[in-house]
Structure 1
Amino acid sequence: MTDNLTFDSHERAEMQGTSPRLAVSGISKRYGVVQALDDVSFDVSAGQIHALVGENGSGKSTVVGIISGTVQPDAGVISIDGGAVTSRRTADSQRAGAITVFQDGSLIKDLSVAQNLYLGTDRAQRPAYRRIVAWATELLASHGIRIDPTMKAGDLAPGDRQLLEIIRAISREPKILILDEATSALDAQGVDTVLLLMRQVASRGTAVLFVTHRLSEVERVADTVTVLRDGRYQGTHDAPTTALQRLVELMAGTRVDMEFPERSDQSNGKVLLQAKDLAGPGFGPVDVELRAGEIVGIAGADGNGQLALLRGLASLGETHGHVRTGGTSIRSYRMAVERGVVLLGSDRKNESLFSALSVGDNIGIGVLGRLSSMGFMRLKRERSFIEDSIEEYRIRVGNPRQLPSELSGGNQQKVALSRVLAMDPRVVLIDEPTQGVDVRSRMDIYRLLRQVADKGHAVVVVSSDASELAGMCDRVLVMSRGRLTAELPGLGVTEEQIVGAFAIEHAADPGAVLDSADQVVVDGPADRPRRFAGIANRETMRVVALAALVVCLTVFAQAKTGSFTDPTNLYILSLVLFPIAAVSAAQYFVLLVGGIDVSVGAAMTLAVVLMSSWATAGSVATVLLAGAVVALVLGVVVGGVNTFLVERLRIVPVIATIATMGIVGGVCYMLRPTPSGAIAPALGDALMLTTVGPIPAALVVLGLLFVVVDVVLRNSGAGLRMRAVGLDSQYADRLGVPARRVRVACYLLCSALAGVGGVILAAQVGVGDPNVGSSFTLLSIAAPILGGAALQGGRGLLIGSLLGTVVLVISQNLVTLLALNDGVSLVLPGVLTLLALMSSSDGAVKLWLWRARPRGHGETG
């Protein structure tokens, strides 16, 4: 297949037009003291595969960000198909025809494969939402990819996630396809797949900008290559005729030694870690011994249990079997770290680095004991240690106080590696140590890992790059379908032998690989989990559980009092529930997009105060119209203040809405210093006197509206986009979802619905009271959380919020009926909310799924 990917440059030249499809002209960008780009220009023609290369920190990702609309340049012009792109939003760049596959991805892990594909597809190409599973199946199959579209995206192997992102981008038929390190997590077969897809896309006239550190791939697929160094343009060259060593020299500005460190036979070294019958989700049982002085590689087709084994050796996750070091059994990752076994994951954003801490803090956090005395940091010692680490690991950073997110991917990897190695571990477990790292940095990392091994430690490396394993490792363990199938000696082994060892075994799975110049089918191993307890299923389970809890509480209350279900008591409970249900719906929409609004109680109070001035007399129609006007005014004014503070001034939502709460509360006291101003009785007649059984008809209508809105949100693209913003706002924005607009709409809707709750409350109290809504804020948060909403966003149902409200009201009524202390009514909502937050955590769900899995013969848990 590799031969099929070496293309005829004359054939490609015939497809390339005279005018460039993408023109980058004089772009510059500065971050503080660092000049990331300085007057960079290059063109990409239609039908051309144009590689962009450079060392880490050379400015490649900044170029990608500017073209894609995620970064605002200081100077320069981007033209797509002859038209200048002046707007700097991702959606505008996509509308112009530039689609980007980002280095750190844009899949929203809590959504299914089909939902992720749907979000990233142009509106004109999307199917009806009810057909997304069938549509996604057809789309993936058309590119030779077999992945279950109902599977949770976060459960896919890293390589499958990258392939999915590329398929999603290609399906939009872009004018310009930008691939930022699109092959970094792929094995040899996956790389072939992507390079073949690039060829197919280019043959249809798409301009492809391929950002990579793997120069061998540039040699195989690119027509032209542009080199950056320190943010400056180093020229554009003909890829087929330019030697790789020359590209490396242009990237580095000097000659770079591209040899792996020397190895020695360590077969008789002391055993530092031993695993016996080790098994867990996706791998095992496995027996492994790690010896002092050796680097052990783990190879295999993507998703065959390599990473699961690595995490199992660190006692991370739900594993069983035995892992021993120094004669002691390790039962948790904390024990592993205490005994010198440390894991460095490839997910720098979520696992390897503390994103909220500075680069310097990340480097020193693992050795605080060495940098302090009597519990106090020795600042001079810490500063010296950080400076020495930056120099030793050649980390390109403007200032140690910078955040890791401000560095290039390769420099982030060096920071993570320095933190781990500073702890002087006995066993180092590393997943993809050079993913997204340039050639010179790769050699630095190989040298550092060999130094660690030569000091008498053991190093285990999982890598999708077989040439890396062949050149660096003393032993290579080959995995297929979760089992160790071969062990190859490091000295003398070749890349072809490693790939052959797992490819032959993996091909034993029928349909695993289709070797064709036109189509490559990538399928996971037979034992890859396909069970996905989706968000929708979990929300349904929560609603059913809450409904059962309401029934149990009702039965208990009736048994204790004998009068709980009397119509009069149910009517009184409904009146209490009515305004809380409305304001919990208001809070629900903000929670759905990952925000929070603690000004809702003050907004309800202001609605009551305004109604005491604007609805003092008149018919039902008149007072209801006044109520609608009040809700609209509050939505625009209070919601507008909140959105200005949160979205424009970037103030944390809870702080911003506390400020709004204070302002609105002050306005209430200015308008009504004391309770006064009678509200028209017609409002109470309309909202409370007409009943369905013992329940006010207006409350029944509200409940039905909740159900209708839930159905719409769960079965429409609009609802999916709202959830996507809550689950991962940055990735949603990359997919073309206008995240800021969605959040603004939800804050405005929240204040408007809080106004509706205030109108309902006004009907009950009948007078303008400046304190009447203060107790509703906590209840407005507790009810949707009980109903399945999450502070992280993206979860929950409106009907769940209503049931949560019912649970709170019944619980508080029980406090009165059972003559309990009044303080219990204040404690209860907080306790129930905490329990709801704990029970809805992803960790609890994953643990339940693991324990509920089908088990093989002889397996115990």
Structure 2
Amino acid sequence: MNETVTPPAPLLTLAGIGKQYPGVRALDDVSLTVLPGEVHAVLGENGAGKSTLVGIAAGSVVPDTGTIDLGGVTRSRMVPREARERGLAIVYQTPALAPSLTVVDAMLLLLPESVRPSRRTATAWTAELFARLGLEIDVRRRVSAISQREAHLVEIAAALASEPSVLVLDEPTEALGADETAWLFAQVHELLAKGAGVVYITHRIPEVMEIADRMTVLRDGKAVGRGDVASYTADEIVELIVGRSLETTFPAKAVAGDAADVLSTSGFTGRAFRDVAFSARGGEIVGLAGVEGNGQREFMKALAGAVRGSGELRLNGRELRGLNTKRATAAGIVWLPGDRLGEAMFGQLSVRENVIAPNLAQAMPAGVVSPRTENRLVHEAIGGLAVKTPTIETPITSLSGGSQQKVLLARARLGSPAVLLVEDPTQGVDAGARVEIYAFLRAMADDGVAVVILSTDAVELEGLCDRVVVFSRGRVQAELEGDRLTEREITRAAVLATETSLNDDADAADLTSKKGLPLYQRGEVQTVSLVVITVLLALVTAGIAPSFLSSLSLGQLFASAAILILVGLAQLAVVITGGIDLSIGSVVALSAVIVSFFGEAGPGFLLLGFVVAIAAGAVVGVVNGLLVTRLGMPPVIATLVSSIAVLGGAQLLRPQPGGQASADLMTALGTAIAGVPLVLVVAVAVAVLLWLGLNNTGLGRGFRAAGSDAVKANRMGVDVNRMRLTATVASGVLASIAGIVLFTKTGIGDAGAAQAFTLTSVTAIVIAGVSIFGGSGSALAVGAAALLLQTITSALPFLGVNLSWQYWLQGLFVLVAAVLPMAVRLRRRRSIPG
């Protein structure tokens, strides 16, 4: 009797998945199952929907239709944390590691609760894990200080350590060498032996043939093929991936001739490409191809001077040295970036202004713009391109993608270039506009211009180009022309490449990670430096005016410093998550005003006032957070609006200063310990607690990840909106505590007495070295910066200097604190070859 074998239950099932982006159907009714013990390859060209599909499984992308079944639970959508806890681990093509975190902190965020070590043991645990896996990476360093290869390895290590039931690998070997790829495959086989399933996304067919059991092929967002990998040859898989014929009419190609090279390179090397020999002749169109991320885009940018390259670069036989975009343009190299809105266009300007911007010298031959000349030049430039615009004064952002690209091409033509570099010439362009753009590029070539295009569309490259140079892992894999220049051969050269990664033999100076202090060490160097400056300033002042160190003077200094420390910490809480809070001064004022209504009835009643004031600050924080996270308002606008409203409320409560506390109560509130006011002890304690929280808790890691890179933080399982809402509430609470301290110092409620604290809070975090873009900063350094600012203010009268100098000195400190790191980064960037 034949027994029926029951197939194993799927570990992951995606059913009927659909995802629509503006103008693009990324996925259309796609289904996928992953079984225990198998590697399921997901294949397709760039833009086929592969990464979107696995992003939906991992929870970083929300589907429009369909369901996800993971760990026996069916959902219409997942969130990254739930997916991770249910056994799915993912390694993204671009590592999802927030740059400001240390490697240890990144690991802690990536690991599920079931295997996550405590923060106290995490450093040793991670180091032991890396040693066991054979990874030589310093776990204490920041993610921003390690190389792309190391970041990939960290994410792989976290995925393996999470003991997943489903492991998703999205182009995992792009940054790895041959030995590291073999290591990864060995790890995959160990997982399979434990009954796990693996989803493997790649363009590299040899890897699919080596490791995959089943495959699903996507094309234009649809599943067009699936089956056992063993049933297909490599060529048949390539055919499934391509699966289409030329659909667009292309202009006739150039007749082969012996034109001289206009642009050529030899031994050209940069950060993502190496030893490239390349040439482009006048009258021809040369294409740059390859799987995205293999160096071709960086190579084009180096030709345009947008990134550095070393080696020989010649234009019409003349060597170009020290190339940047300005020098490249002056030499006749015109570059059109693929990111039209972000890099190529002036989004708020008109068609006329966009065309003429790089060509002002032609429009103003006498040094003054001639409207007649300008209009003539613009109409000549866009003539024949069928730009669909009501007038040349129409904002360029109101045009279609095709017309925008035509305006940029018109701008390039007006510059009479020797070389035209175009990234993704028809991205986001409809079919009709594509034909016109192709004809324009061919006409430019026919006029003797060397045209170089970079495209991810093999059909486009086949139909338009005279030659195509295919890149793989930073090197030229193949150069195709004539009968060999076909979509099939372009795709084949890219996906069948066996070229090793640059990391196998690149110079250490080029590709190894840069040394840098761990985040916590960097912050505390700043703390020590600020404390030393403060002590030196105090000693100098005391040498001139000994009374500066009297108990009365120091008591006033410390009490005032406590307020500055608290407002600085309030600003830090928000800035570290990527925001800013302009309502801090208003909250301080409101808090002091509220407490002033409770100060005349005794200590017990005053304590109730403290509670009410802190609650009011928390409410303001909630409002700020909801405006930012729910309504999507920029933090500057949201907190400015709330600041005005809160200040208005404080003024309604206290139109005039009032609520004087009794002398006995003021004496009690001014209690000192060993000559140090109690309020300063409280402020320092808050700083220490915040420092510990930011560096040693999951919430602190979430704060820093959210501010460092919101997209990567979301992929790591951080609820970015919750982090930002929590931060604004914390800011409101800390500002309200500062208001309470202000009342203990003045003994009166004054709605107009605290507005300067908002500016002071920003000054303190800048001097403390906090990144104004979010992600990093030390609470201890902020406390030290606040103490320095107050010491400056207190010392000036003793030095016989007008108090207005405090603003000049604060401005000088801010300038130095802001400019010095920028100068250091610029120097490092210039010192890095390529």
TMscore range, shorter length: 0.7 to 0.9
**Which position in structure 2 is the counterpart of 1:639?**
621
**Which position in structure 2 is the counterpart of 1:767?**
748
Relative to structure 1, the CA distance from residue 554 to residue 740 in structure 2 (aligned partners, 3 Å threshold; closer, same or farther) is same
Amino acid of the residue matched to residue 209 of structure 1? V
Q: Does the CA-based 8 Å contact 1:85-1:96 persist in structure 2?
A: no
**Which position in structure 1 is the counterpart of 2:367?**
none
The structure 2 residue matched to 1:64, chosen from 42, 54, 63, is 54
**Which position in structure 1 is the counterpart of 2:35?**
45
- Taking the aligned partners of 2:793 and 2:61, their CA distance within structure 1 comes to 51
**Which position in structure 1 is the counterpart of 2:571?**
587
- Report the CA distance between 1:45 and its aligned residue: 1.6
Q: How many residues align?
A: 782
Relative to structure 1, the CA distance from residue 673 to residue 19 in structure 2 (aligned partners, 3 Å threshold; closer, same or farther) is same
**Which position in structure 1 is the counterpart of 2:71?**
81
**Which position in structure 1 is the counterpart of 2:516?**
532
Q: Does the CA-based 8 Å contact 2:597-2:609 persist in structure 1?
A: no
Q: Deviations over 1:430-484 (max 9, x none)?
A: 99999xxxxxxxxxx9999999999664979999xxxx9xx9989999999xxx9
Structure 2 unmatched ranges of 5 or more: 364-370, 389-395, 427-436
The structure 2 residue matched to 1:846, chosen from 815, 825, 829, is 825
The structure 1 residue matched to 2:654, chosen from 665, 668, 672, is 672
- Taking the aligned partners of 1:563 and 1:627, their CA distance within structure 2 comes to 36
**Which position in structure 2 is the counterpart of 1:354?**
342
Relative to structure 1, the CA distance from residue 816 to residue 335 in structure 2 (aligned partners, 3 Å threshold; closer, same or farther) is farther
1:169-180 mapped onto 2 (5 Å cutoff) = 169-180=159-170
C-alpha RMSD of the superposition: 5.7
1:21-170 mapped onto 2 (5 Å cutoff) = 21-32=11-22, 34-86=24-76, 88-170=78-160
Q: Deviations over 1:558-599 (max 9, x none)?
A: 455454333332222223222122111111111121221111
- Report the CA distance between 1:371 and its aligned residue: 9.7
**3-state secondary structure, aligned to 2:775:** coil
Amino acid of the residue matched to residue 322 of structure 2? I
**Which position in structure 2 is the counterpart of 1:797?**
778
Q: Does the CA-based 8 Å contact 2:334-2:420 persist in structure 1?
A: yes
- Report the CA distance between 1:253 and its aligned residue: 5.7
- Report the CA distance between 1:356 and its aligned residue: 11
**3-state secondary structure, aligned to 2:14:** strand
Q: Deviations over 1:756-783 (max 9, x none)?
A: 1011111122222221222211111111
- Taking the aligned partners of 1:343 and 1:559, their CA distance within structure 2 comes to 62
- Report the CA distance between 1:700 and its aligned residue: 3.2
Say whether 1:546 aligns with 2:538: no
- Report the CA distance between 1:427 and its aligned residue: 6.4
Amino acid of the residue matched to residue 536 of structure 1? Y
**Which position in structure 2 is the counterpart of 1:723?**
704
Q: Does the CA-based 8 Å contact 1:675-1:767 persist in structure 2?
A: yes
Say whether 1:609 aligns with 2:599: no
1:342-381 mapped onto 2 (5 Å cutoff) = 354=342, 369=357, 374=371
Q: Deviations over 1:292-320 (max 9, x none)?
A: 47979999xx99x9999998776677899
- Taking the aligned partners of 1:504 and 1:228, their CA distance within structure 2 comes to 26
- Taking the aligned partners of 1:578 and 1:672, their CA distance within structure 2 comes to 24
- Taking the aligned partners of 2:400 and 2:190, their CA distance within structure 1 comes to 39
The structure 1 residue matched to 2:612, chosen from 630, 635, 642, is 630
Relative to structure 1, the CA distance from residue 282 to residue 543 in structure 2 (aligned partners, 3 Å threshold; closer, same or farther) is farther
- Taking the aligned partners of 2:636 and 2:792, their CA distance within structure 1 comes to 27
**3-state secondary structure, aligned to 2:342:** coil
**3-state secondary structure, aligned to 2:192:** helix
**Which position in structure 1 is the counterpart of 2:368?**
none
Relative to structure 1, the CA distance from residue 139 to residue 340 in structure 2 (aligned partners, 3 Å threshold; closer, same or farther) is farther
- Report the CA distance between 1:792 and its aligned residue: 0.9
**3-state secondary structure, aligned to 1:126:** coil
- Taking the aligned partners of 1:199 and 1:419, their CA distance within structure 2 comes to 55
Q: Does the CA-based 8 Å contact 1:784-1:804 persist in structure 2?
A: yes
Amino acid of the residue matched to residue 651 of structure 1? M
**3-state secondary structure, aligned to 1:846:** helix
Relative to structure 1, the CA distance from residue 136 to residue 355 in structure 2 (aligned partners, 3 Å threshold; closer, same or farther) is farther
Between the aligned residues of both structures, percent identity stands at: 29
Relative to structure 1, the CA distance from residue 384 to residue 453 in structure 2 (aligned partners, 3 Å threshold; closer, same or farther) is closer
Amino acid of the residue matched to residue 109 of structure 2? L
- Report the CA distance between 1:735 and its aligned residue: 1.0
- Taking the aligned partners of 2:628 and 2:710, their CA distance within structure 1 comes to 14
**Which position in structure 2 is the counterpart of 1:657?**
639
Relative to structure 1, the CA distance from residue 531 to residue 185 in structure 2 (aligned partners, 3 Å threshold; closer, same or farther) is closer
Structure 1 unmatched ranges of 5 or more: 1-13, 389-398, 405-410, 435-444, 513-522, 856-861
Say whether 1:698 aligns with 2:679: yes
1:745-756 mapped onto 2 (5 Å cutoff) = 745-756=726-737
Q: Does the CA-based 8 Å contact 1:543-1:800 persist in structure 2?
A: yes
- Output the TM-score relative to the length of structure 1: 0.74
- Taking the aligned partners of 2:515 and 2:102, their CA distance within structure 1 comes to 11
**Which position in structure 1 is the counterpart of 2:366?**
none
**Which position in structure 2 is the counterpart of 1:781?**
762
**3-state secondary structure, aligned to 1:768:** coil
**3-state secondary structure, aligned to 1:226:** strand
Q: Does the CA-based 8 Å contact 2:441-2:451 persist in structure 1?
A: no
Q: Does the CA-based 8 Å contact 2:68-2:78 persist in structure 1?
A: no
Q: Does the CA-based 8 Å contact 1:599-1:777 persist in structure 2?
A: yes
Relative to structure 1, the CA distance from residue 331 to residue 73 in structure 2 (aligned partners, 3 Å threshold; closer, same or farther) is closer
Q: Does the CA-based 8 Å contact 1:38-1:232 persist in structure 2?
A: yes
- Taking the aligned partners of 1:378 and 1:16, their CA distance within structure 2 comes to 71
1:292-691 mapped onto 2 (5 Å cutoff) = 292=281, 327=318, 329-330=321-322, 332-340=324-332, 354=342, 369=357, 374=371, 457=450, 528-529=512-513, 531-561=515-545, 563-619=547-603, 622=604, 625-681=607-663, 683-691=665-673
Amino acid of the residue matched to residue 43 of structure 2? V
Relative to structure 1, the CA distance from residue 341 to residue 564 in structure 2 (aligned partners, 3 Å threshold; closer, same or farther) is farther
Amino acid of the residue matched to residue 764 of structure 1? K
Relative to structure 1, the CA distance from residue 701 to residue 336 in structure 2 (aligned partners, 3 Å threshold; closer, same or farther) is same
1:179-328 mapped onto 2 (5 Å cutoff) = 179-186=169-176, 194-195=184-185, 197-242=187-232, 254-255=244-245, 269-270=260-261, 272=263, 292=281, 327=318
- Taking the aligned partners of 2:387 and 2:119, their CA distance within structure 1 comes to 54
Q: Which moved more, 1:178-187 or 1:643-652?
A: 178-187
- Taking the aligned partners of 2:289 and 2:221, their CA distance within structure 1 comes to 36
**3-state secondary structure, aligned to 1:614:** coil
Amino acid of the residue matched to residue 578 of structure 1? A
- Taking the aligned partners of 1:830 and 1:15, their CA distance within structure 2 comes to 77
**Which position in structure 1 is the counterpart of 2:432?**
none
Relative to structure 1, the CA distance from residue 319 to residue 688 in structure 2 (aligned partners, 3 Å threshold; closer, same or farther) is farther
Relative to structure 1, the CA distance from residue 663 to residue 530 in structure 2 (aligned partners, 3 Å threshold; closer, same or farther) is closer
- Output the TM-score relative to the length of structure 2: 0.76
- Taking the aligned partners of 1:755 and 1:383, their CA distance within structure 2 comes to 63
Relative to structure 1, the CA distance from residue 183 to residue 289 in structure 2 (aligned partners, 3 Å threshold; closer, same or farther) is closer
Q: Which moved more, 1:184-193 or 1:634-643?
A: 184-193
Q: Does the CA-based 8 Å contact 1:39-1:232 persist in structure 2?
A: yes
- Taking the aligned partners of 1:72 and 1:419, their CA distance within structure 2 comes to 39
**3-state secondary structure, aligned to 1:770:** coil
Q: Does the CA-based 8 Å contact 1:70-1:90 persist in structure 2?
A: yes
- Taking the aligned partners of 1:685 and 1:729, their CA distance within structure 2 comes to 48
- Taking the aligned partners of 1:489 and 1:85, their CA distance within structure 2 comes to 48
1:820-835 mapped onto 2 (5 Å cutoff) = 823-835=804-816
Q: Deviations over 1:499-537 (max 9, x none)?
A: 999879998x8xx9xxxxxxxxxx979983552233333
- Taking the aligned partners of 2:513 and 2:411, their CA distance within structure 1 comes to 31
